[in-house]
Amino acid sequence: MLSLKDRIELLENDLKAVPTRISVYHDLPFAILRYDPEEEWQLRNEVRRLATRLGETGKEVLMISMAELLWKAIADTEGLEAIAELEKQRGFGAAQEQITIYLSDEDWRPLPDLLADRLSSLDAEKSIAFLTRAATMAPAIYHMSRLLDEMQGRTRVTTILFYPGTLEGTTGLRFMALKDREAMGNYRVKIYG
C-alpha cells in the first residue's frame, strides 16, 4: 500500500497534467484521496503544502471545510441550541438524524446546495477545490458517496475529497474505519487509495 505522501504525489501529478487526469466524467470532476483517520494532522499539513505547490503553477486552490458547511447548515436552520435540546430530550441518535435531515431535505440546507454555492464562483479552468475535514460527518451524519452522486452535473470545478477511512479491495471505502459501517464500493471517481 502506498504511503500518504506517495498518494499525494500521484494526485499532484494528475492535477498538474493538462488536462487533469483525475476524472473520466466531465460532469463529475471529482476524485478521492483516502487517508487513514489517524493521519488527519499529517494530511492537513500535506494538503496545505500541495495547495502551495499547485498555486505556484497558476492553479487557484480553494479549501472547503466540510465542518464549516455542516455548522452553516445547522446555523441556517434551527440552530445549535435546538440540536442540543433535542439531544438532551431524545438522545444522540435523534440529534444526528435531525442534522442528516438538515443536510438532505430540500426544505432545509442540503449539503450539495451548500457545496455547489461555494464552487459556483470559481473558474473551472484554473480552480481546484479541496474538500477537507470530512470526518465531521461521522459517525453517520451524511455519506460522502451520496454527496458525490448528488454533485454530478452541478459543477465543472476539479474537486478533491480528502476521505478518512480504509480501503477494502480496490474501490471499497469504509468511512472513518468504523467497523459497523459497510465498505462502499460504488464510487464512480478515481480513488487515490
CA pseudo-torsion sign 140, 145, 149, 155: positive
128: closest CA among 35, 24, 4, 22? Answer: 22
Closest CA to 47 of 79, 82, 12: 12
HSE-up (13 A, CA, CB side) for residue 13: 6
- Residue 115 pLDDT level (bands cut at 50, 70, 90): very high
The per-residue pLDDT for range 41-92, each reduced to its tens digit, is: 999 999 999 999 999 999 999 999 999 999 999 999 999 999 999 999 999 9
In one-letter notation, the amino acid at residue 122 is L
Domain boundaries, the chain: 4-13+20-192
For residue 78 the three cell numbers come to 434551527
187: pLDDT strictly greater than 70? no
Q: Are 46 and 5 in contact (CB under 8 A)?
A: yes
Distance of CA 117 to the CA centre of its chain: 15
pLDDT (tens digit per residue) in 123-148: 999 999 999 999 999 888 998 888 98
